[in-house]
Amino acid sequence: MDTTLKDPLVGHVLDGRYRVDARIAVGGMATVYRAVDTRLDRVLALKVMHPALATDASFVERFIREAKSVAHLAHPNVVGVFDQGAEGAYVYLAMEYVAGCTLRDVLRERGALQPRAALDILEPVLAALGAAHRAGFVHRDMKPENVLIGDDGRVKVADFGLVRAVGSVTSTTGTVLGTVSYLAPEQIEYGTADTRADVYACGVVLYEMLTGAKPHSGDTPAQVLFQHLNEDVPAPSALVPGLAVELDELVASATARNPEVRPHDAVALLAQVREARAPLGDEQLDLVPPQAHTDEQAQDQSGEQRSDGVLASEDRTSVIPRVLPREEPEEPEVNRTTRLAMPPSAPPQPPQQSRRRAVPNRGVLALVVALFLILGVGAGVWYINSGQFTRVPALIGKTEKDARQELKNAGLDVKKVRFDFSETVKRGTVINSDPATNERIRGNDSVTIVVSRGPEIVKVPQLKGKPLAKAERELKKLGLAPGVVTKEFSEEIAQGSVISTDPEAGAGRSPDSAVALTVSKGAPIEVPGVTGDSLDAATSELEGAGFKVKVASAQINSPEDAGSVAKQSAAEGTQLARGDTITLTVSKGPRMIDVPDVVGKKADEATSRLKSAGFEVKVEKSFPFLGDTVESQSVAGGGQAPEGSTITIKTKGL
């Protein structure tokens, strides 16, 4: 039975404009329909919020935010949003309709993909996210369900419902938005999400495409979250033997648990993807992976879509409370987009961790009792109350390296390193510690240190006229990343120094944002012509003009005399920069070739044969000029002459 007949919106013209034809899918917060814009006569997709949620201002705000944010992204790999509106209890987005399937559908049907297919999908996804990141937005919910693959092969990123501006506050207290299987560690632990959270999710998606399985799994979301926090994503080659090491390194870079180690945004990750792909041959790219999981496992991990278009519960976007006390509660599936609430004092427990206290060894107890008897009760009380404890040393203002050493000297370990913005504390130095300075802590315990990322918004410095190396050091010192370097001629700026930056000096950017640099090649120099000159003379002239000279290892035949310059890599009149290299090829002299015998031939035939052999021809006619038969040739037939040289033929008179 067609359950879409029960949907009151099917057949309805929403907002007097959008005729709803069919339901495509149902999620936790919205239903997606195929519709027709009756004004423009085009097919589109309508994303309609569930009426029960339309009364919640936060959900409506998110819908509107999605429309506004995506409207700024005119990118071929982003699902476009055309309109936003409401009719009664129905709040909707009118979006681009993509006929095809999701990446989740592909993974469910095929399991692991060949590396070529995985990279062909990942690259446009990163291009779309890169456009969002450079426009100042973070997606925050990247997963296979949000990657659409059209029937024409186009790849598009959808569902910017959790998008936030990079410059806005992206940390939350007690709640986290996202999908459990793709949350970055810093989202779980601190509720923060910048561009590197999207990078982490893309690394997980790449792992899933290469292996057909998620890197972390568990019976409850709490177990998956614990693994995100405490375990690195394994190398995909562990499941798919034969995968190139470059792919393992790519996954490891994107999914580094420390966000400072990851590529700073999708543009940087896309560059890494292309760099990793370049050396791979067809055999590595077209590796056919073994099925990484059975169909039943795939169903367990990925869910199913019913024939009526309703997504399985684990694939839906939903909002649920999440509390992680000492005992793990029963929780929903791990694939849906969720809001996770967790008190800071209750970290997730590892899967099936035993909660029994460790019983001291009897021999140790006996030794303690003996010490009490020898040293007296006072000493025993000191051991219990003081001897087990130390105090946290002063770490604030120290570099991370020095802070680690201080803790090591005190017999303490670093539990974790957190990073936070600070307007006053220098980037890379400690802001705070937990426990705080001078607080008592049990010996051999661990301390969390908080390291400054510098100001939340960094101004691009004035770098014009500074040498490239110095400019790059200055950017790194401020917490910005040196970006792409392009070179241009300049009459004003010294060679190797910065002409301009993009963004320009004074512009505000988030830490780790890339700054492109345009560097001077100096004033242009016109290349002189040295073909035919001796090698020494040519070298002297080019070096005198400011160029470096390289001599090709192989010599060639040419019309030029042996030992002279046969050709130069930059043509005469070309403009190059001082210090550029010009390669000179030395002549072996002309090639000697056989001369055909043309005596007795008609002049036209003789000329044709000589030219075909590689010679120039000069015809001299004897008086009176009525004869046309060759009487003699300057080089006898059967002899040899330089290729391209001139052979003179004489014709008979009457």
Q: Which domains does the chain have, with CATH numbers?
A: 1-97 (3.30.200.20), 101-352 (1.10.510.10), 380-452 (3.30.10.20), 458-520 (3.30.10.20), 525-586 (3.30.10.20), 592-651 (3.30.10.20)
Lowest average pLDDT, out of 298-307, 394-403, 436-445, goes to 298-307
Average pLDDT on 509-528 reads: 90
| Pair of tokens at residue 394 | 């002063």
Question: What angle in degrees, to the nearest 10, is found between the helix axes of 245-254 and 266-277?
Answer: 170
Percent of the chain exceeding pLDDT 70 equals: 79
> Rounded to two decimals, what is the model's pTM?
0.50
Lowest average pLDDT, out of 221-235, 530-544, 611-625, goes to 611-625
Higher-pLDDT residue of 158, 119: 119
Task: Specify the pLDDT at position 232.
Answer: 92
Strand order in the sheet with 155-157: 100-102, 147-150, 155-157
If DSSP codes are grouped into helix, strand and coil, which group holds residue 250?
helix
Cα 417 to chain centroid, rounded: 24
Q: Compute the distance between CA of residue 516 and CA of residue 486 in angstroms, rounded to an integer.
A: 8
Task: Specify the pLDDT at position 360.
Answer: 41
Task: Specify the pLDDT at position 193.
Answer: 84
Task: Specify the pLDDT at position 243.
Answer: 94
Q: How confident is the model at residue 308 (pLDDT cuts 50, 70, 90)?
A: very low
Quick check: 524 pLDDT over 70?
Answer: yes
228, amino acid identity? H
Quick check: 460 pLDDT over 60?
Answer: yes
Average pLDDT on 530-550 reads: 95
Average pLDDT on 181-189 reads: 89
With CA atoms as reference, report the closest residue to 271 among 137, 127, 166. Answer: 127
Higher-pLDDT residue of 131, 179: 131
Distances (CA, A) of 488 to 301, 502, 524, 645: 52, 14, 9, 44
Quick check: 611 pLDDT over 80?
Answer: yes
Q: How confident is the model at residue 281 (pLDDT cuts 50, 70, 90)?
A: very high
Q: How do residues 10-56 score in pLDDT, each as one tens digit?
A: 999 999 999 999 998 876 678 899 999 999 999 999 999 888 777 77
Quick check: 113 pLDDT over 90?
Answer: yes
Higher-pLDDT residue of 362, 9: 9
Quick check: 407 pLDDT over 50?
Answer: yes
- Contact between 176 and 229 (Cβ < 8 Å): no
Q: How confident is the model at residue 508 (pLDDT cuts 50, 70, 90)?
A: confident
Question: Mind spelling out the 3-state secondary structure of 168-230?
Answer: CCCCCCCEEEEEHHHCCHHHHHHCCCCHHHHHHHHHHHHHHHHHCCCCCCCCCHHHHHHHHHH
Task: Specify the pLDDT at position 220.
Answer: 83
Percent of the chain exceeding pLDDT 90 equals: 48
Quick check: 164 pLDDT over 60?
Answer: no
Q: How do residues 93-102 score in pLDDT, each as one tens digit?
A: 899 999 889 9
Average pLDDT on 516-540 reads: 95
Lowest average pLDDT, out of 221-225, 323-327, 564-568, goes to 323-327
Lowest average pLDDT, out of 63-72, 570-579, 607-616, goes to 63-72
Quick check: 324 pLDDT over 70?
Answer: no
- Contact between 132 and 163 (Cβ < 8 Å): yes
**Highest mean pLDDT pick, 163-177, 448-462, 511-525:** 511-525
DSSP 111: -
Average pLDDT on 190-218 reads: 93
Higher-pLDDT residue of 360, 212: 212
300 is catalytic: no
Higher-pLDDT residue of 602, 50: 602
Task: Specify the pLDDT at position 128.
Answer: 93
Q: Which of 7, 141, 198, 533 is catalytic?
A: 141
Task: Specify the pLDDT at position 310.
Answer: 46
Lowest average pLDDT, out of 258-272, 304-318, 420-434, goes to 304-318
Average pLDDT on 426-444 reads: 84
Q: How do residues 475-490 score in pLDDT, each as one tens digit?
A: 988 888 898 899 999 9
